[in-house]
Each structure stands twice: as C-alpha cells, then as structure tokens.
Amino acid sequence: MSRPESVDTKRVSADFEAEADNRRRQDSEIALLELEIEQAWADLSPSGNSFDAVSHDGHLLDQTASLAVLDPQLPIGSRRGLRGIKWAIRKLTYWYVRFLTDQFNLFAGVLIRHLRNLEARMGRLEAAAGLPIDQSVPAGLGLLDDPPEPAPEVVAQVAGLAGSGPCLVLSAGQGALVEAIGDRGIPTHGVEQDPDRAFTGLSRRIDIRTGDMLAHLVGSEDGEFGTIVLAGMVETLPLKDLIGMINQASLKLKSTGRIIVAVADPATRGQVESELGSGLGISPITWRHLLEHAGFDARLEPCANSRISQIVVAHRSANSSDRSSANSSNDSESREP
C-alpha cells in the first residue's frame, strides 16, 4: 500500500471528475439535480458570492465554509495585474478607514471632555439658582422595596380631593391615580422612574411619562398645573430633594392650585426598612409643616387605609395669593411706558 505522500492527488481528482462526467452522460437526472443545487445556492448566498468557476478556486462546499465566518478582506481574484491593483486598493482603503477611526476616537474624547465641563458649569449655575442638583441615589434606596401601589381607598380619596387641571402626579406608578383623576374629566399625566411600572400603565393607555420626577417638574412651565399630587417614590427621597420639590411645585402651580401628598409615615416602617431608609421620606405632619412654611394653607385629611392614614392637602394661602397678585400688577405697571 502506497504512503499518502506518494499518492498523486491531481490524478485521483481527475479520475473522480471523469467518473462524474461519465455518470452525467448516462443519467440526465444528475445534471438536473446539480442545476437545482446551484440555483438554490444562488438564491440563498449573499450578493456577490454565487458560484463562479473563473473567480473562485474552491467548489460549492469550500465557498460555504469561507462564508461561515466574517471575512473583512475583500477578494482580489487571481488574474495577474488586476490582482495587484485590487491588493493595493484594499491596502489603501484599510489605511483610510483606520485613519478615520482614529480621528473619530480623538473627536469623541474631546467632545466627552467638553460635555463634562459643561455639566460641571451647569451644576454650578443650578446651585446658584437654588435648584436641587444632587440627584444621586441614597445608599439605602437600592436595598429598600419600592413603595406599593396605592390602595383603592387612597386612590378614590385623592381623586376626590383633586382641584382644577391640569394635574401632575409624581410618581405615577402603574397609573391608578392618573386614571382616577382623569376619570373626573381633569387633564392628568404622571411621571414614573420605574420603566416596568410605567409600561404597565402605558399598556392601559394611561398618560405616564418615564424619567426623573424632579427634572420633569423643573422643566415644566411656571403656573402650568392646577393640582400636583406627590406619592409613591416620593417616600424614598431625602429631605433636601423634598424641599426642592416643594419649592418647584409652588412655582409650577396656578394661583389657585393645590398640592396633595399621599405618603406613608416613616415611623410605621419595620426595623429593617427604618435602618436602611434612614433619612429617606418624611411624615405627613412634616409635609404639612414644610408646605405651611412655603406659604400654603395645609391640612391633614384622615384616610381609611392602614398604610397611608393621612393625606396632606395644601392650598395657596390668601396672603401668598395677594402677594402674587401684587407682584403681577407691579410687573405689568413696570412694563407700561
């Protein structure tokens, strides 16, 4: 038996080809089957990869194997002269694309550096304007369970206490408060930071926007809302953000607007929640105090719910309304010639 290196592979291949041609002549169906295979390959293969005996040295299976992986190298063919030209073009194209990539990376680095500087400057401007800029998540927030959806009795009472529209609900959760207030004919939308909860409400065609609650409030127009409802994730915010939220809400309310706060008392939390949520959320009584300090007439409404036992309702006080009217008249007089 001859060794493998002594076998003439070209002769063996020629014998196979001769035998294949002989069988094609004897059975015309073989040629038809080969034609069907080639047609199927032409239909399924990527553009420019159909079988071509002139430009490809391999057979059908060899082409299939070469297409099993991504090959960034452009084929250059086997013709003399043309092969060298294609090789040079491929090298030049590779160099040019690499040059553009390096330039883009450099531009991206410079752009990111300038954006960071812009963010720092905007932070200083917001700090000078007295806006709450620290939106970092408290250390215990990720370990606390999110506040549950409001109970039906809480939803019904808040909807009954809502005043004129438009109404903004922060945070909206799955949209129960937004839906109940909207059923009263008051234009209402909510903002929810949890995309899963927001999606649940959106699937019921409730107007819920995703994003940061405080950022949405800051970006609203002054005097835009007749009612602002604070609930849900408001229970997990630190005092600084809550004060900033009250200040912003007072700017975004109409002169006859009201604020409704439906939150649980942190004193009713269990031991684990109390320790993890230290400094997060305030009681309804403290909400009333802060709202009165901001110029509102606030009161506590009892609620028949074991978790949220009191709801805070705050209206514009007469003195603050008079001051707002006086400021508006002074502004109009100052604009008159």
Residue 200 has pLDDT above 80, yes or no: yes
Percent of all residues in the chain with a pLDDT value above 90, rounded to a whole number: 30
| 205-228 residue pLDDT tens | 889 988 888 888 988 899 999 999
pLDDT at 156: 94
Task: Tell me the two tokens of residue 88.
Answer: 């040079």
Residues 174 and 317 in one domain: yes
Note whether 157 and 247 are same-domain residues: yes
The number of folded domains in the chain is 2
3-state secondary structure 74-95: CCCCCCCCHHHHHHHHHHHHHH
Same domain, 296 and 193: yes
Residue 119 lies in a domain: no
* Judgement on whether residues 176 and 304 belong to the same structural domain of the protein: yes
Looking at the structure, tell me whether residues 182 and 37 fall in a common domain.
Answer: no
Cα gap 25→13, rounded to integer Å: 19
Q: Are residues 327 and 206 in the same domain?
A: yes
Query: How confident is the model over 92-107, as pLDDT tens digits?
Result: 888 888 888 878 877 8
Clarify whether residues 152 and 35 are in a common domain: no
Residues 177 and 289 in one domain: yes
Chosen domain end from 40, 66, 92: 66
User: What residues contact 41, with CB distance under 8 A and at least 6 apart?
Assistant: 50, 51, 60, 63
- Residue 208 located in a structural domain: yes
Candidates 223, 273, 277; CA nearest to 250 is 223
> What pLDDT score does 132 carry?
53
Q: Are residues 158 and 256 in the same domain?
A: yes
In a domain, 286, yes or no: yes
In a domain, 313, yes or no: yes
pLDDT averaged over every residue in the chain: 79
Residue 328 reports pLDDT greater than 90: no
52-58, long-range: CB within 8 Å, 24+ apart, which pairs? none
Dihedral angle sign, alpha carbons of residues 295, 296, 300, 306: negative
Q: Is the pLDDT of residue 234 over 70?
A: yes
pLDDT of 27 over the 70 cut: yes
Tell me if 329 is assigned to some domain: yes
Residue 80 maps to a domain: no
- Whether residues 62 and 158 share a domain: the answer is no
Average pLDDT score over residue span 123-139: 60
More confident residue, 1 or 152: 152
Boundary (domain end) residue, out of 46, 66, 86: 66
Where residue 164 sits, what CATH number does that domain have? 3.40.50.150
Alpha-carbon distance 15 to 85, whole Å? 37
Instruction: State whether 285 and 158 are in the same domain.
Output: yes
Residues with Cβ within 8 Å of 267's Cβ and at least 6 positions away in sequence, in order, are 283
Q: Residue 308: name the closest of 154, 159, 148 by CA.
A: 154
Query: Does residue 227 belong to any structural domain of this protein?
Result: yes
Tell which wins on pLDDT, 17 or 140: 17
135 inside domain:
no
166 — pLDDT class (breaks 50, 70, 90) = very high
Q: Which of 51, 66, 81 is the last residue of a domain?
A: 66
pLDDT of 333 > 60? The answer is no
pLDDT of the residue at 96: 86
For residue 48, what are the domain limits? 8-66
pTM of the model: 0.55
Model confidence band, residue 70 (pLDDT cutoffs 50, 70, 90): low
Identify whether the C-beta of residue 218 lies closer than 8 Å to the C-beta of residue 145. Answer: no
Q: How far apart are CA 184 and CA 253, in angstroms?
A: 20
At residue 317, does pLDDT exceed 50? yes
